Amino acid sequence: MMTLPQKELISAERLQERVAELAREISDDLEGIDLLTVVCVLKGAFIFTADLVRHLTLPCRIEFIRASSYGEGRTSSGKVKLEHHETIELEGKHVLLVEDILDTGRTLSRIVAELEQQRPASMRVCALLDKPSRRSVLFEANYTGFTIPDHFVVGYGLDADERYRELPFIAIENR
């Protein structure tokens, strides 16, 4: 058997159950809107977004932006680099921003501030994971999949130096 350099924190089954639940909650809350613009924050949220949108019962448009702050380390540099956000038209649109993990809160507060300059009709944030103990700026997501303790996690889209994104579960990195 292959031994993985990580310890499982959230199984593939629990992820799938919770993602379907989140999609139901979002679909209920936004019922009746003509179009939802889903903005996936690359790279970490690519798998979560792909699973989430397949459970939404709303007409969707899917867009991608890129945010990078970590570089190759394990702690946020504090500087958030955004790409592709200017090319998406959000004025008057209902927006759902989908992110992998809310940690210090710097990335999401920066992204929300940028996107709000385009005056969307509404903006909601959905984060798969939340590490509230690490927050350094005031920020809460409208929808959160799982609240987790302060561990560096990988899998289901999340990486450590670009590795482990393909794992179907969330794991704590053993280092």
Binding site for ligand 5GP (CB under 6 A): 44, 69-70, 76, 99-107, 152-154, 158-160
51 is catalytic: no
| Minimum distance from residue 96 beta carbon to Mg ion (Å) | 15
CB of residue 95 to Mg ion, shortest distance in Å: 17
Place of tokens 């992820």: 15
Give the three-state DSSP class for 18: helix
> Of the two residues 26 and 164, which places its CB atom closer to ligand 5GP in the complex?
164
Question: Residue numbers of the site for Mg ion (CB under 5 A)?
Answer: 44, 70, 100, 159
C-alpha torsion sign, points 108, 131, 47, 7: positive
Catalytic residue among 100, 103, 159, 161: 103
User: Which of 58, 110 has the CB closer to Mg ion?
Assistant: 110
Task: Specify the 3-state DSSP secondary structure of 133.
Answer: helix
Residues 6+ apart with CB under 8 A from 95: 36, 37, 38, 39, 115, 120, 121, 122, 123, 124
Q: How many residues does the chain have?
A: 175
Give the residue among 106, 152, 109, 110 at the shortest CA–CA distance from 129. 152
**Smaller CB separation from ligand 5GP, 51 or 103:** 103
Of 44 and 120, which CB lies nearer to ligand 5GP in the complex structure? 44
Q: Tokens in use for 32?
A: 């009746």
**Minimum distance from residue 83 beta carbon to Mg ion (Å):** 13
Cβ of residue 151: shortest distance to ligand 5GP, in angstroms?
7
Q: Which does 153 bind (CB under 5 to 8 A by kind): ligand 5GP, Mg ion, none?
A: ligand 5GP
Tokens of 91: 């004025």
Residue nearest to Mg ion (CB): 44
Question: Cα dihedral sign for 95, 98, 103, 108?
Answer: negative
- Please list the active-site residues: 103
